[in-house]
Amino acid sequence: MKVACTVWLGAKGVKASDLSRLLLKEEQTAAYSVEIWKRFRKWGGIPTGITQNVKDLLASREIENIFENSDFILMLNQASGDRQILAKQLNISPHQLSYVTNSGEGEGLVFYGSTIIPFKDKFDNSLMLYALMTSKPDEVEKRKKLGIGERND
């Protein structure tokens, strides 16, 4: 099964987290998102969501159900209020929270089932793979100027 997603081409500063927040803001699109999430899981899909602030995500009871039924959560640096929500919802210890408190790039926590694993991933930024995966706006612009990763179909 293929699922198509609309990308806002050329939109400056629009991030996936902003798009998720906008979709979940309205009751009708939030309810639709929950229904699609459930169907994708039922069909063997692996739905994926991203948010910058978990408190925005959990403002809706319906969306909170998605969060509660998520088996895998990757957490990077979190704001204080979001850390407290995550600590309560996922039973994260104060020591584990230190990995998402003022953490650097590539540092955080992985929550899988009932297991919480801290990580530090220092990816070599001189690699071509780094240039293809970075989401830093200045580095993406540099990559575009150099023509790295462009398809020539």
pLDDT in tens, 53-96: 888 777 777 778 788 878 889 999 999 999 999 999 899 999 99
Q: What does the pLDDT read at residue 97?
A: 94
Q: Examine the pLDDT at 11 and tell me if it is beyond 60.
A: no
Mean pLDDT, range 120-129, rounded to an integer: 87
Quote the pTM value: 0.70
**Hey, which of 27-36, 65-74, 108-117, 144-153 has the most confident mean pLDDT?**
108-117
Q: In this model, does residue 10 exceed pLDDT 70?
A: no
- Contact assessment for residue 50 and residue 16, using Cβ atoms and an 8 Å cutoff: yes
The pair phi, psi for residue 73, each rounded to 5°, is: -135, 130
Residue 4 above 60 pLDDT?
no
Asked if residues 55 and 85 have their Cβ atoms less than 8 Å apart, the reply is yes
Share of the chain above pLDDT 90, in %: 26
- Is 43 or 23 the better-scoring residue by pLDDT? 43
Residue 2 pLDDT > 80? no
Give the per-residue pLDDT at 123: 84
Rounded to 10 degrees, what is the CA torsion of 8, 15, 134, 117?
A: -140
**Residue 66 corresponds to which amino acid?**
I
